Amino acid sequence: MRGEIITTLFIVALSMIGCQKNLDNNSGLEFDALQVNFGATSVGRTWAEGNEIGIYGFCTRNGEQDVRMSTNTNARYVAKSDGGAFHFAKVSDGDQIIANKDDHNFRFHAYFPYSASNSDMSALSVQVPARQLHATGVDNYGLYVASTQVSTVVPTINLDFKSVFSTVELYLPNDIIDEDGNSVVRSLTLKPAVPDNFSGVLADGGTYNLETGTFSSNPSLQSDEIELDFGTAGIVLTSAFTKVSLAVAPFTIPEGGMDVVLSDLSGNETIITILDGEEGTVLAAGQVLTEYLSRDNDGIIPVNFPVVFSLGLTNGDRNFTAVTQPRWVSDGIWTCPSQTQAYAQWYKVSDPAPSPLQFKQFVNTGAISSPEIRGIWTGDYLEFTLPVKRFAAGTAVTIKFPMYTRQGPVFWNIEYFDEGVWKSNKTNVTSYDPAYTRQATFSLIRGGKIIEHTMIFAEAIQSGHVKIRITCADGSIQADTDTKVAVRTTPWVSSGTYGAPFYLYLADSDVTSITFSTN
């Protein structure tokens, strides 16, 4: 499963002032000289102490246009932390950008990372080299730029930084070279799988005009492959997946995809082909391409147990919303937030009435943040797909989750795909209303309940998927009151629509997820 992430960097320049705002090109501001300081927020990158940016500041001053606002043309600013928030401070007095009382028509052009050699903003030296050092960090290759023109330096100046180049993020499994894990990788090379099909370049360099946004390439700096060097000791892959990143020139994926060549300390190579079938997909400037690698090169990215599908709130933030799960309402898909190769999907199987229609929505109120389905009937199910490798025969998988309904179905099954068939550990289950017993895995009450169930898989899975379903066993027997169920021929209807609440929650419980764990 591949996720493509578009990364944009935002820098906010904050004017630190001791005067009142005036909207007329600063003409009424009560100062003779204003020092413009720069603070930073970030989306898609993390600032660190010592990060340096260069800023070119210009204004109209005393009737003259394009007057430089700092003594040093290429003003140097360094990132400093202030209680967790970062701001940029001048490195020297000559770097300080100053606005005088009657200045107006301000222009600011900025870039990252800073280089003292960039004395001419129309010809910034920039390169994404063919050999990159992992220890240097991907942000120190390539170039981020921002430009803005404003009439006043107060209250804030917003600089929107964008990357001139692109990034490829590769997640390496710990068994990519050594099947027992803890693989040691000396270097990694990204190149087209079929060189004749590739008309672009991966490494590039030249000059960039910060004012016009024009990049002029130097052909002598171009290459159709990039090597990432992990040093003489290599990198030890101790985690389930280790992220490594390369800066690349924007390119179009060729027919046949791309090869990732991994070399161990002895020089032995392992070649993994990625993006095959993605011919014509463009990785544009500023975009990040994320790809998980697999030892078996079969596209299976194994999960690391436990697998947690989060519900409720985490640090005050709701876990299940239209932002975090954008495909729930349209497609019934719920992606595991921490291991996105795992997902669940809701399937509607039957409905005894032509209308109203079953529908999916979000429940976000109080401590609840959950998917909801209204209009559930017999056979409808939520299926979880968990990619695995070397999943041993006899492995026990336990599922634990909260479940809540009023007027919804009482009897449910938990099913798992094993030895080519769907299995279920059914027993004669008596509902909270003792008049009703059914063959099922569990039953609900009118309200919330914690469900915990263990399945033992008889068949090993070398590379594939664990599939588990939560299935409605009988839609007709519904939780009517606290002591009685009702038997109906359709899902419960209220005001002309299906109205039985059904979501994943139990009040005052610390179980706020659907979690899969193994023995």
| pLDDT at site 329 | 95
Domain with CATH 2.60.40.2630 in the chain: 166-292
Residue among 307, 231, 258 at smallest CA distance from 468: 307
First to last CA, the chain: 26
Domain with CATH 2.60.40.2620 in the chain: 8-127+138-163
Q: What percent of the chain has pLDDT over 90?
A: 75
pTM across the whole model: 0.58
Name the range with the highest mean pLDDT among 7-11, 261-265, 468-472: 468-472
User: Domain 166-292 carries which CATH code?
Assistant: 2.60.40.2630
Mean pLDDT of 46-71: 91
Q: Which residues partner with 107 through β-bridges?
A: 58, 149
| pLDDT at site 23 | 33
Tell me if residue 196 falls in helix, strand or coil: helix
More confident residue, 3 or 470: 470
Domain covering 8-127+138-163 assigned CATH 1.10.10.10 in the classification: no
How does DSSP assign 328-350, residue by residue? HHHH-EEE-SSSTT-EEEEE---
Residue among 83, 66, 70, 86 at smallest CA distance from 12: 86
Q: What percent of the chain has pLDDT over 70?
A: 91
Residue among 247, 299, 300 at smallest CA distance from 277: 299
What digits encode the pLDDT tens for the residues 65-113? 999 999 999 999 998 887 766 778 899 999 999 999 889 999 999 999 9
What digits encode the pLDDT tens for the residues 414-427? 999 999 999 999 99
The torsion defined by the Cα of 359, 360, 365 and 370, in degrees rounded to 10, comes to 150
How does DSSP assign 299-329, residue by residue? S-----SSEEEE-SEETTEESSSTTT-TTHH
| pLDDT at site 40 | 61
Domain with CATH 2.60.120 in the chain: 307-518
The answer to which of 72-76, 159-163, 307-311, 385-389 has the lowest mean pLDDT is 159-163
Element (H, E) at 190: strand 187-192
Element (H, E) at 426: none
What digits encode the pLDDT tens for the residues 176-226? 998 888 999 999 999 999 999 999 999 999 999 999 999 999 999 999 999
Per the rule left: phi > 0, alpha: psi between -120 and 50, beta: everything else, 350 is beta
Domain covering 307-518 assigned CATH 2.60.120 in the classification: yes
Round the average pLDDT of the chain to a whole number and report it.
Answer: 90
